[in-house]
Amino acid sequence: MQDEDAVRAAFHAINNAWLQRRAQDMREHLHPDVVMVQPGFESALRGRETCIASYAEFRAGATLYAYTATEPKVEVIGDSAVTWHRWTMRYEWGGAAFDERGHEIFVFARVDDRWVAVWRTLTVEPPG
């Protein structure tokens, strides 16, 4: 259970950092070459600094009205781990209101006895 707890702690550190407008605080939990695949799998952000900037840009430009997330499920296999959870979010961006829900998936790797995110995506469910 120790590895699962460490992965879960890394996930929470990343999630709390963007929610609290401290995107830079997630740096130690992201691999330098992390890949974040955008919803719809059409494009990806590559590299820790690019991904941090994306989180910071979202929080700077969006008015977040509500966010909930379930506790992540964690599967550890050797030096790899996967987390997934369900999320909901109500926010405003560029004058438009959004009420979204979906799932977020992270892949973590153990590097130098620390768990760091190496890949992430989220799904957005159709409205309704």
Report whether 104 contacts 15 (CB < 8 A).
Answer: no
Per-chain mean pLDDT for the chain? 96
Q: What dotted CATH number matches 2-124?
A: 3.10.450.50
Residue 1 pLDDT > 70, yes or no? no
Helices in 20-107 by DSSP H: which ranges? 48-61
pTM of the model: 0.94
Q: What is the pLDDT of residues 58-88, one digit of tens each?
A: 999 999 999 999 999 999 999 999 999 999 9
Judge contact between 85 and 69, C-beta under 8 A. yes
